[in-house]
Amino acid sequence: METDTIYNGLLVGQVLGAVILVTGLFQGGLTPVTIAGGVILFLAIMGVAAMAIAVDTDERASDGGIPRSGSSQRNR
């Protein structure tokens, strides 16, 4: 799957989770539906974080890596 498609799906998950969470809190307090909305929101946020790490790792691998500052320059 393309990265943009995954990000868009995770964004929809965040919006859906937030709507369920807020609506559930205003309608009936802390109910199982409200908790489910919070879980959906949390998982979508964690998915975005995981995708950001994966994309960064892929970019570093394709660029040959980023050398650590001063690690190879100190011995010269």
Would 63 be classed as within a structural domain?
Answer: no
Would 71 be classed as within a structural domain?
Answer: no
pLDDT at position 53 is 87
Q: What is the pLDDT of residues 38-55, one digit of tens each?
A: 999 999 999 999 988 887
Residue 3 pLDDT grade (very low, low, confident, very high; cuts 50, 70, 90): confident
Q: How many domains does the chain have?
A: 1
Would 42 be classed as within a structural domain?
Answer: yes
Q: What is the largest CA-CA distance in the chain?
A: 67
pTM, to two decimals: 0.70
Q: What is the pLDDT of residues 9-44, one digit of tens each?
A: 999 999 999 999 999 999 988 999 999 999 999 999
Nearest partner of 25 among 16, 13, 40, 37, judged by Cα: 37
- Alpha-carbon Rg for the chain, nearest whole angstrom, is 20
Which residue range forms the structural domain that includes residue 7?
3-58
